[in-house]
Amino acid sequence: MIRRPLSSIALLLALAHAGAPALVHAATADHAAADAAPAARDLRETYTKYEYRIPMRDGTRLFTVVYVPKDASKRYPFLVQRTPYSAGVQADGELHYGQDWYPKSIGPSKEFEDAGYIFVKQDVRGRYMSEGKWVEATPHVNPQRGPGEGQESQDMYDTMEWLLKHVPNNNGKAGILGISYPGFYTSASIIDSHPSIKAASPQAPVTDLFMGDDSYHGGAFMLAANFGFYSSFTEQQNPTPLPKTWSAFDYGAADGYDFFLKHKTLQNILSTLTPQQRALLQPTIEHDTYDQFWQMRAIAPHLKNIKAAVLTVGGWFDAEDPQGPLTTYHAVKKYNPSIFNGLVMGPWVHGGWARYDGKRLGNVSFDSRTGEYFRTQIQFPFFEEHLKGVKPARAIAPVTAFETGSNVWRQYDAWPPVQAKPRTLYFGAGGTLTWQQPAAAAAPAYDEYVSDPAKPVPYIAYPATGVPQEYMVSDQRFASTRPDVLTYQSEVLEDDVTVAGPVQPKLFVSTTGTDADWVVKLIDVYPQEYPAGERAPRGNDVGAPGTTLAGMQQLVRGNPLRGKFRHGFEKPEPFVPGKVEAVDFQLGDVNHTFRRGHRIMVQVQSSWFPLVDLNPQTFVSIPKARPEDFQKATQRAYHAPETPSGLQLLVLPQR
């Protein structure tokens, strides 16, 4: 789901309603400002538009738009997208239905429109012009399914049965794709899949909202993104084409940091919304453990009996659904070993591969048009092969992963690469970071800081009322100077270090409170000085103030763990004040080379605001926390031989 600042939502909705594979939940496309827009095309010349209400097995009718090539001398495959963000056309700031309204584009890229496909776009149950009841991340198995609620794989099956019989000149084959929430519908639609479905591409798929996707990371609520999204994405009466537009929430402040800190508690924050705006957000907040509400919505355990070839796509810098593509890839591989199961991970923000050239994000350049490469060399050939039998010039690898830092594409047989071996970077006295486990040292063998909920650590150094996409590579120099952030740094690297796979903090910590967040960040520190004759490159101001990259502390990956979930996400447990405990968790996957001459840095802190909601640092139900529950606490990270805190990485051999 795209959950980003709403200032540019019109742009994203225009793309989604114009036929981009669903750039969705609400969003900015700051990184796209420098990219050229596609040339205008009049699809009326080559495609005929039809609108249908396709009956499902329970009688519910789903509104479906079909674009059929005018050239009837050939047979074409279907390319389907199922979306909660409208199958209509966005034009002049409003949403339009009707056969006279054509989008500017309808395929994932112009190659599809030129090659000829029957494009299908469908409003899912309970959204816009479709009948039925919409349910968040439709549970595949739901014994309490209510009237009008459905199962996505059945709805897709019934849709294909109807299309094959009623749309002429089809070749009997279908593909399905979608980004974010439509990525979820792609995954859910191929379970026990209809035999006509030969290819599927879940892209940035919502997979488990609690486990690392939109709603929670490490048990901590992703506050700013969810608030921004649900204040505009609301329940609706249906069938209806409304809302004509999405409205942005008025924060009454230039900085979300100030707005959220002023209201502090989740109850007070919710009170700023209307009942309609709270209806979908409130359950997300109230279900703050991995309970049945979330478990039944996790789609990965059900990704079975898939007959289609699958190409899962994700971005290393996706702020919305960073874990979904990896979880989907592993689940499809586990349950469907006989099919083609591919993974593509690029240097992209959420949906950044769909329309833009993917040359840079904020101040970080990737040195090539990575989005264009994906669309022309991977995505289009994948569907052409499986839907038309056109063999690609070069076989698509099981895993295609962009290696940031070195800025090259890599191909692997699996993810993570079998060549990558675990190594641990250990914290040391004086802020050191080394591959050697700490030896006995004079006390104290720990570092400490005071975490104050009244002065939380921000996640960016500039004001914003949403979640700028740039934060995923943002310069961390502002944080390393704060007294409530621990900073550990390696010596200057003499050789490249390439990390490929999950990053796992292994900490030994204590707190004077009874709960604490542990935010860990892996950072690439650029050289302060460049060799003679070389000039330090400068970034541009796409999404963040321009700055010289000399000395930049680029975020590579960061995530929190809400400490009370250190033994599991279903049952929280308090800390015993002062007791040293081991805390292990997953930070997420990376594919990054720390170049020779750079340094590796790790930062540890206990707030990341307002990206993550505030932990009161007392063991309470945070959705019900009162202002007086928020207390200062002294946090310690230990680096003694018997308590060796560090970061475990999967490191590739030097090439």
Question: In this model, does residue 491 exceed pLDDT 70?
Answer: yes
Q: Any idea which residue has 């279907």 for tokens?
A: 78
Q: How confident is the model at residue 422 (pLDDT cuts 50, 70, 90)?
A: very high
Q: Are 538 and 549 in contact (CB under 8 A)?
A: yes
Q: What is the pLDDT of residue 535?
A: 52
| 43-52, 310-319, 547-556, range with the lowest pLDDT | 547-556
Q: What is the C-alpha separation between 261 and 639, in angstroms, rounded? A: 33
Q: Are 121 and 83 in contact (CB under 8 A)?
A: yes
Indicate the SS3 state at residue 464.
coil
Mean pLDDT of the 626-655 span: 97
Q: What is the pLDDT of residue 136?
A: 97
Q: How confident is the model at residue 34 (pLDDT cuts 50, 70, 90)?
A: very low
Question: In this model, does residue 537 exceed pLDDT 90?
Answer: no
Residue 70, number of CB atoms within 10 A of its CB: 10
**Would you state the structure tokens that stand for residue 11, as one six-digit string?**
């742009």
User: Each residue of 589-619: b (16+ CB within 10 Å) or e?
Assistant: bbbbbbbeebbbbbbbbbbbbbbbbbbbbbb
**Would you state the structure tokens that stand for residue 579, as one six-digit string?**
């007791």
Question: In this model, does residue 562 exceed pLDDT 80?
Answer: yes
Whole-prediction pTM: 0.93
Q: Which CATH superfamily is domain 421-651 in?
A: Galactose-binding domain-like (2.60.120.260)
Q: Could you tell me how far CA 648 lies from the centroid of its own chain?
A: 23
Question: In this model, does residue 243 exceed pLDDT 90?
Answer: no
pLDDT in tens, 615-624: 999 999 999 9
pLDDT in tens, 105-118: 999 999 999 999 99
CA–CA–CA angle 82, 83, 86 (5° rounding): 125
| 6-15, 462-471, 480-489, range with the lowest pLDDT | 6-15
Task: For the chain, give the mean pLDDT.
Answer: 91
pLDDT in tens, 86-95: 999 988 888 9
Question: In this model, does residue 534 exceed pLDDT 70?
Answer: no
What is the total residue count of the chain?
655
Question: In this model, does residue 490 exceed pLDDT 50?
Answer: yes
pLDDT in tens, 159-208: 999 999 999 999 999 999 999 999 999 999 999 999 999 999 999 999 99
Output the CA–CA distances (angstroms, integers) from residue 234 to 77, 239, 277, in the order listed. Answer: 34, 15, 6
Q: What is the pLDDT of residue 39?
A: 56
The domain locations on the chain are 6-305, 421-651
Burial of 160 (0-12, 13-18, 19+ CB in 10 A): buried
CATH 3.40.50 fits 6-305, yes or no: yes
Residue 142, number of CB atoms within 10 A of its CB: 14
Question: In this model, does residue 15 exceed pLDDT 50?
Answer: no
Q: What is the pLDDT of residue 40?
A: 65
Q: Given this chain, do its domains 6-305 and 421-651 carry the same CATH topology?
A: no
Indicate the SS3 state at residue 388.
helix
Q: Could you tell me how far CA 570 lies from the centroid of its own chain?
A: 23
Q: How confident is the model at residue 248 (pLDDT cuts 50, 70, 90)?
A: confident
Q: Any idea which residue has 């390319």 for tokens?
A: 79
**Would you state the structure tokens that stand for residue 84, as one six-digit string?**
């909660």
